[in-house]
Amino acid sequence: MVGLLALPEGTDQRPGVLISHEGPGLDDFGRSRATRLAELGYVAFALDYHGEGQPIADWDAMSARLAELSADPLRTRALGAAGLDVLLAEPRTDPGRVAAIGYCFGGTLSFELARMGADLKAAVGFHAGLATARPEDASQISGKILALIGADDPFVDAAQRRAFEEEMRTGGVDWTLVLYGGTEHSFTRPGAEAVGRPGIRYHEPADRRSWQAMLNLFEEVFA
């Protein structure tokens, strides 16, 4: 598994951010999130939870892989924890100021890390699947949860959102769910509609606003 570690300028310790890629796999978009965060002063590690540092080109193969991980949250958490170990092994990472973010299933992975009790100040999911096979583990979440979802995302429907809300309430979590109107899945990826699947489309306002919402949360939890 081949990820990308990006460091900010300087030599001091900085907050660390673990980045989990979209369903197909780690690509230039996922790696660019790490470099973008490093430019803002964070230590950022874009992990690779499929392997070989390459996306899965075939839609059916990718869907099968994600189905396996969705059915086995403990395996998903182990993959995320391995990435977190890499981030924490970097001397410039402040271990007391760490967050996990992710896109699509990568957001799901970030939330699963929080559910396993990882020491995260925040977990952020961009158009992330919100369902889990172990909702009772929400009681182990110690950091803040931010879910950024398109209101018209066919992969994260109203029923899934309601179940997530109930899970967060039952677990006593500090959580926020933001819905962007007129917005579908993969709204952060320019050209997302090129995949040719219904319900997948870039939305510039939601992309910009969701990134700012994440930065606002970082400012709060890393202060």
What's this model's pTM, rounded to 2 decimal places? 0.97
Report the C-alpha dihedral over residues 48, 127, 148, 161, rounded to 10 degrees: -120
CA–CA dist 7, 30 (Å, integer) = 15
Q: E strands of 13-163, at which residues? A: 14-20, 43-46, 93-103, 122-126, 144-150
Instruction: Express each pLDDT in 156-179 by its tens digit.
Output: 999 999 999 999 999 999 999 999
The confidence score (pLDDT) of residue 20 equals 98
Pairing outcome for strands 43-46 and 14-20: parallel
Instruction: Express each pLDDT in 32-85 by its tens digit.
Output: 999 999 999 999 999 999 999 889 999 999 999 999 999 999 999 999 999 999
